[in-house]
Structure 1
Amino acid sequence: MGTMDSDLYRDITRFAHDTPSWFQHLMEAFTELGLLLFAALFVVAWWRARRGDPRALAVAVLAPLATGVAYVCSELVKSGIDEERPCRAVSGALTSLVACPPHGDWSFPSNHATIAASAAVGLALAWPAIGWLTVPIALLMAFSRVFVGVHYPHDVAVGLVLGALVSFLVVRLLTAGGTRVAVSMRGSGNGAVRWFAGPSAGEMPVVGAPRHANRR
């Protein structure tokens, strides 16, 4: 591993040990719980899109699918590059804040960073107004993986690029087909399918329309 990357890893983990214990515990929790935050945002994005046009629904549903594809891509790369974790390989580094993953759980690229970036981009495509939140969360999650000592900086950098790229491509390539599926689902005879897809255009209330006709 490059000396520069190892030096940066040592600097970041040294900084982590110099921070207050409450902040260390916060980062330890966030490095895992951040994924649950993205999952919750996926649900909110889908719920909002149920009352939007079929394309919006398609993008909202494709966002978590793209994240799953990005994770698989990350795992395929990881299985072909046997890079030991820095908490085990970097000499002179301080002890990682969390348990160092066992030998065979390779370091490159960071699955967490890949998932975070993919989720952030997918959510930004489905719900543009939330990009100001999802992108910083993804970057912080990536940094947290180095902060707690389980990844090199280049692991998370590549993970971020991989996740963002895969998410963008999957959503863009499948949106047209997903839109057609959304239209079909909204016209389905199955109640559960129609509920998942949301009301069709004819079923949506007209904004500003009176609820009841005036009685004379």
Structure 2
Amino acid sequence: MIESLHNFDVELFLKIHRGLSNGFLDWFLPLMRNRYTWAPLYLFIIIFSFKEYKKRGWYIIGGVILTFALGDMISSRFIKPFVARLRPCNEPTLIHDIIHRVPCGSGYSFPSAHATNHFGIAVFLIMVFYPRWKPILPIGLAWAFIISFAQIYVGVHYPIDTIAGAALGSTIGFLVALIYKKLQPAL
């Protein structure tokens, strides 16, 4: 069972990483996974939170930071060392199949911290802003998805790494949003 799941994961990885290869995606997707690309969005979220939510803006930003910190700590400090799965770009059996689009990194692969963090933040923000701004749902999920998909395309994560990261991050974002909502009446 585990072996067939691994084989499916590698096959799907190669279909995305090599099969979808083209000049536009080679340019676009590395940008989508770059933290500096999203700096204006992060700044907008901070300014918007303070402008629209006043004092509660501090709690919103605190929730985003808590979501990020928990997601990063759980995925990178606890799960990755325990599972110890090599990144596809470091996997010796795939050495001739990898297209080097970004530096590989030396850390482990499972789960994707990018997927964990971005789905966590997206779900938290969706739960906070959705009552007043419905478009946050598709926009937030699309944002987290494109970053996670880019991780596969550039060769640093397998699909199951990003799926597990998305599930972990979504759970963390949901739980932090529940805490925020419980505290909200006191704010």
* Structure 1 residue 98 displacement after superposition: 1.2
Note the aligned Cα RMSD (angstroms). Answer: 2.3
**Partner AA of 1:120 in structure 2:** A
TM-score (norm 2): 0.81
* Structure 1 residue 156 displacement after superposition: 0.3
Q: Tell me which of 96, 99, 106 is aligned to 2:103.
A: 99
* Structure 1 residue 35 displacement after superposition: 4.8
- Equivalent residue number for residue 191 of structure 1: none
**Partner AA of 2:80 in structure 1:** K
Mapped to 1, the partners of 2:25 and 2:14 lie a distance apart of: 18
Tell me if structure 2 keeps the 8 A contact 1:116–1:163. yes
1:111-122 mapped onto 2 (5 Å cutoff): 111-122=113-124
Post-superposition CA distance 1:10-66 (Å, at most 9, x none): 11111343x12x4312211111135535523431442244348x5x76445423322
1:67-106 mapped onto 2 (5 Å cutoff): 67-75=68-76, 76-89=78-91, 90-91=93-94, 92-102=96-106, 105-106=107-108
Mapped to 2, the partners of 1:79 and 1:35 lie a distance apart of: 28
Tell me if structure 2 keeps the 8 A contact 1:64–1:122. no
1:154 equivalent in alignment to 2:160: yes
Mapped to 2, the partners of 1:156 and 1:41 lie a distance apart of: 26
Post-superposition CA distance 1:52-96 (Å, at most 9, x none): 8x5x76445423322221221112211211111111214352323
Aligned residues: 175
Mapped to 1, the partners of 2:172 and 2:48 lie a distance apart of: 19
Unaligned runs of at least 5 residues, structure 1: 183-216
- Equivalent residue number for residue 50 of structure 2: 47
Mapped to 2, the partners of 1:127 and 1:8 lie a distance apart of: 34
Tell me if structure 1 keeps the 8 A contact 2:120–2:170. yes
Q: Tell me which of 89, 108, 111 is aligned to 1:109.
A: 111
**For 2:34, what is the secondary structure of its paired residue?**
helix
Q: Tell me which of 129, 135, 149 is aligned to 1:143.
A: 149
**For 1:5, what is the secondary structure of its paired residue?**
helix
Mapped to 2, the partners of 1:151 and 1:109 lie a distance apart of: 8
Unaligned runs of at least 5 residues, structure 2: none
Mapped to 2, the partners of 1:158 and 1:37 lie a distance apart of: 27
Tell me if structure 1 keeps the 8 A contact 2:72–2:113. yes
After superposing the two structures, state which structure 1 stretch, 155-164 or 41-50, moved more: 41-50
- Equivalent residue number for residue 32 of structure 1: 34
1:12 equivalent in alignment to 2:16: yes
1:166 equivalent in alignment to 2:172: yes
Mapped to 2, the partners of 1:161 and 1:38 lie a distance apart of: 23
Post-superposition CA distance 1:84-141 (Å, at most 9, x none): 1111214352323112212xx1001000001110111111112112222111010111
TM-score (norm 1): 0.71
> How has the CA–CA distance of structure 1 residues 77 and 45 changed in structure 2, closer, same or farther, with 3 Å as cutoff?
farther
- Equivalent residue number for residue 25 of structure 2: 23
